Structure 1
Amino acid sequence: MNRCLHRNSILHWPRLLGVFCVCLGLFIGVIDMSKPALAEEPGPTVSLVINGKAVFSDVQPLLENGRMLVPIRYIGESTGASVTYEAATKQVIMEQKDRRVSLIVGSNVAYVNGRHYTLDVPPKIVNDRTVVPIRFVSEALGYRVNWDERAQVAQIESKEPDDSVAIVKEASNPYVVQAGDTLSKVALQHGTTMSAIKKNNYLSSDNLTIDQILFLPNDSKTATNPLSKKVGDSGLLKKTYYFPFNNRSWYEPYGDSFGSDREWTESSDGSVRSHEGIDIMAPKGTPVYSVSSGTINRIGWNTYGGWRINITDESGQYRMYYAHLSAYTPGLRIGDTIQAGQLIGFVGDTGYGGAGTVGMFAPHLHFGLYLNDNNRAIDAYDYLRYWEQNKVASPFFLMGQTRRRIS
């Protein structure tokens, strides 16, 4: 899979009780015990992301004395840290680079590079898993930690952030390349230079293709063939809409797969159906964000889409469809209000069969766009290319921005 990196506490414990597939959690402040337990989740959920990917666990997190304890094995597997357990002394040792963290099951004493610390809660054994206080261990190893209150997801980053790449900074004047266009012709026509266009779009050559989107520099004339002229609704070309991956996610360059043939059907009668969305290939567990603000109108298993979620946008005109997910974020229900840029789930390879079917195709996000009044599918490719310049910022993203070639 190619890398496509773009430049451009309060834990509500009742929300976690219903988590089916959550791996890890993070203590953030005071616990609100006044809220009732949530109903059964609509599908598998994950409440922890490490280094940009969801982490699945067979042991739920524990909450004791306002601290979250999680299986140490999964921290090590996701960060590359070494983890050892000395059965005779019940000592857990975690090492990475120049950091060495030592804890003892049942003891409030811990050591970081030989320095003594007192824990609020000790490590313990649960279902043959050693669980440890996640915040203490993460910070002791020098990891960065964030709690997404809205999504109820803990995020840990053990790697140094990559701030060497960038997004298109001036994206308000998109031009659609026409037959016969050259880079010099487009530049002259819009009162700018070839080098300015190439720099803004991160182009490595002067070659153009028909229907390619060029983001003209802000001091250029208004595009003579604007993207708004090509798409059906220019109202969707606004900064209130987000790309479904954040600005540090990896994904492959994607094409316009709308309308292509798909051979798998429920009836298995050999018929061919038309693809009603855009497929973006990405690693399993990649966080998926809501493109728009709106309301959940469907969530759960779909034979074709696997674990999917439908969100009606706040205008009531459109439905956004996110399919083949591996899991949701905790607590999502039909009727819930969702904000644009809210984390809602994770890339997977579910679908094409009964509940739980996986592996029928490579992991990817299927994004569909539908008119709400008549359920007609719309080609979302051009909208996605525009929204691609507006991404949710990773909490660990510093001053740099992510980059990909615009073509």
Structure 2
Amino acid sequence: MTRCLHNNSRHLWPRILGVFSVCIILMLTLGDKADAAEPGPVISLVIDGRGVSADVQPIQRNGRMLVPIRVIAEQTGAQVQYDGAIRQVVVSNQGKRIVIPIDQSAAYVDGKRVTLDVPATIVKKRTLVPIRFVSESLGYQVDWNAASKVAMVWTKKQTASASAKDTSNPYIVQEGDSLFLIAKRHNTSIENLKKNNQLTSDALLAGQLLYLTNQAKPAAYSPKKTAGNQQLLRDDFVFPLAAENEYEPYVDSFGSNREWTESGNGSVRSHEGIDIMAPTGTPVYSVSSGTINRIGWNTYGGWRINITDAGGAYKMYYAHLSAFVPGIKVGHKVSTGQMIGFVGDSGYGAPGTTGMFSPHLHFGLYQASSGKAIDAYNYLRYWEQNKVNHSN
């Protein structure tokens, strides 16, 4: 075989080079497609603080976003009718009536003609309409998050979730604590504690964060005092959920046992993060500025994002997401407080596995140099004082 190849090499080389050239072209073509592909499910629309999935993705035309009208209707309670004979959609809600002809540059709001920047269209048997025009015609507020390529619609005035009025003196609730003991220890009153933290009951959870007023004594157990690495107590880092988002009080779950393993051999592994329980679709924000070093599916973490902070000292891991924001990939730079994905319940199986546990954000913190996991609990408690706030 060797001799045959040698003797006929001058005849074979053109064919070999031809095949090689074709392979190179295919590799470049497939590489372009891979780069253009999203790393997993994508959400481009947030309504009243929750990411909304659609069977047909929103599209951009002439700087305007068009979304499936059914998505808006289902999330806001608007009524939608489509007349295929004359190709127009009618949207009505709370006395407002909007008529939108398909592929036409004009629409009608309560009978008044309005010129559109971009017309409604039909994609895969779904009617897509310009979201800003429809939302504002219905009296909704629309914001465009350019960094994350996400449209945010508020059907009512957004307000921050129940939070403390004075956050200057944070205290971590200890085992055996009560409002009475905390108030007595810090020379304040139960009434002040409840009022400042907007508490509706006296029940406390060990590890819960309370905010003492600045008139009280300095907190005996504060995130800053209990944190091991003061370099991570940075005021330019933010909490991964926004001020208007609801989430359950979280505890230090770092190091707790987890029984599910990929091998299924019954072994127990150590939990390397903090779980923050929140509804599916809750937007997730980058704690720090940095660079995405991994994104996509992980057997344990589901749809996840790994970000190395701008200083290169730490890696932050956001897992069990339901979707990502559009267009992000490995190597992309992100800013502090930039929306990167949405809370979900993905993971513990093959790509697309969901429902193995309740929706939550798993946040992990690692040393970049060694890969060693760090207990992020006290740092999250500190960053909790800094949140992205859309209600401002």
Q: TM-score, normalised by structure 1?
A: 0.79
Higher RCO, Cα 8 Å, sep 6+: 1
Q: 2:119 maps to what in 1? A: 122
The alignment partner of 2:317 has SS state of strand
Q: 1:154 maps to what in 2? A: 151
Q: 2:16 maps to what in 1? A: none
| Alpha-carbon RMSD | 2.7
1:281-328 deviation digits (Å, cap 9, x = unpaired): 222211001112222221111111111111122333322110011111
Q: 2:141 maps to what in 1? A: 144
Q: 1:294 maps to what in 2? A: 290
* Identity value in percent: 58
Q: 2:363 maps to what in 1? A: 367
Q: Does 2:68 align with 1:71? A: yes
The alignment partner of 1:151 has SS state of coil
Q: How far is 1:384 from its partner? A: 2.2
* Aligned-partner Cα distance in 2 for 1:336–1:183: 46
1:12-39 deviation digits (Å, cap 9, x = unpaired): xxxxxxxxxxxxxxxxxxxxxxxxx963
Equivalent pair of 1:167/1:389 in contact (CA under 8 Å): no
Q: Does 2:369 align with 1:376? A: no
* Aligned-partner Cα distance in 2 for 1:210–1:57: 40
Q: 2:27 maps to what in 1? A: none
Structure 2 residue aligned with 1:269, among 248, 265, 268? 265
Q: How far is 1:368 from its partner? A: 1.1
- Please give the residue correspondences for 1:234-313 in structure 2 after superposition, counting only pairs within 5 Å: 234-313=230-309
Q: How far is 1:212 from its partner? A: 5.0
> Does 56-65 or 126-135 show the bigger shift?
56-65
* Aligned-partner Cα distance in 1 for 2:236–2:118: 43
Q: 1:401 maps to what in 2? A: none
- Please give the residue correspondences for 1:148-227 in structure 2 after superposition, counting only pairs within 5 Å: 148-162=145-159, 166-176=162-172, 183=179, 186-187=182-183, 190-204=186-200, 213-227=209-223
Q: How far is 1:181 from its partner? A: 6.3
Structure 1 spans left out of the alignment, 5+ residues: 1-36, 399-407
Structure 2 counterpart of 1:72, which letter? I
Q: 2:6 maps to what in 1? A: none
Question: More helix by proportion, 1 or 2?
Answer: 2
Structure 1 counterpart of 2:121, which letter? K
Residues 224/110 of structure 1: CA separation in 2 closer, same or farther (3 Å cut): closer
Q: 1:82 maps to what in 2? A: 79
* Aligned-partner Cα distance in 2 for 1:265–1:133: 46
Q: How far is 1:120 from its partner? A: 3.7
Residues 210/263 of structure 1: CA separation in 2 closer, same or farther (3 Å cut): closer
Residues 220/84 of structure 1: CA separation in 2 closer, same or farther (3 Å cut): same
* Aligned-partner Cα distance in 2 for 1:190–1:67: 54
The alignment partner of 1:95 has SS state of strand
Residues matched between the structures, number? 359
Structure 2 counterpart of 1:154, which letter? A
Q: How far is 1:130 from its partner? A: 1.6
Structure 1 counterpart of 2:236, which letter? T
The alignment partner of 1:199 has SS state of helix
Q: 1:8 maps to what in 2? A: none
Q: 1:112 maps to what in 2? A: 109
Equivalent pair of 1:299/1:334 in contact (CA under 8 Å): yes
* Aligned-partner Cα distance in 2 for 1:350–1:187: 41
Structure with max Cα Rg: 2
* Aligned-partner Cα distance in 2 for 1:133–1:206: 48
Q: Does 2:314 align with 1:318? A: yes
> Does 352-361 or 87-96 show the bigger shift?
352-361
- Please give the residue correspondences for 1:44-63 in structure 2 after superposition, counting only pairs within 5 Å: 44-63=41-60
Residues 332/379 of structure 1: CA separation in 2 closer, same or farther (3 Å cut): same
Q: 2:97 maps to what in 1? A: 100
Residues 277/112 of structure 1: CA separation in 2 closer, same or farther (3 Å cut): same
Structure 2 residue aligned with 1:387, among 366, 371, 383? 383
Residues 136/276 of structure 1: CA separation in 2 closer, same or farther (3 Å cut): same
The alignment partner of 2:36 has SS state of coil
Structure 2 residue aligned with 1:233, among 215, 229, 235? 229
* Aligned-partner Cα distance in 1 for 2:292–2:264: 30
Q: TM-score, normalised by structure 2?
A: 0.82
Residues 105/198 of structure 1: CA separation in 2 closer, same or farther (3 Å cut): closer
